[in-house]
Amino acid sequence: MMNVSSICKGVAVGMTAGVITYALTNATKAEKRRFKSNTMKAMRSVGSMMDILGGMFM
C-alpha cells in the first residue's frame, strides 16, 4: 500500500515541474537569464549548507 506522504511528495514535485516549465516557456530572455542566475545561487547555498551539516556529523 502506498504511503500518503510519498503521494503528496510526488504531486508536489509534479506541480513544481509544471510551474517551472510554464514560467520558462512564457519568460522573456532577461527573465530566463535571471531565473538561471537565481537557480545557481540557490544550488550553491544548498551545497554549502550540506557541507556545513556534513562537517557537524564528522
pLDDT in tens, 15-39: 888 888 888 788 888 888 888 888 8
pLDDT of 58 higher than 80: no
Q: Indicate the DSSP class of residue 27.
A: -
Range from 18-22, 25-29, 45-49, 54-58 carrying the lowest mean pLDDT: 54-58
- Number of structural domains, the chain? 1
How far apart (Å, rounded) are the C-alpha atoms in residues 27 and 20?
Answer: 10
**pLDDT value, residue 4:** 67
Can you give the residue range of the structural domain that contains 17? 4-56
The reply to whether the predicted model has a pTM over 0.85 is no
Alpha carbon 38 to its chain centroid, in Å, reads 11
**pLDDT value, residue 49:** 83
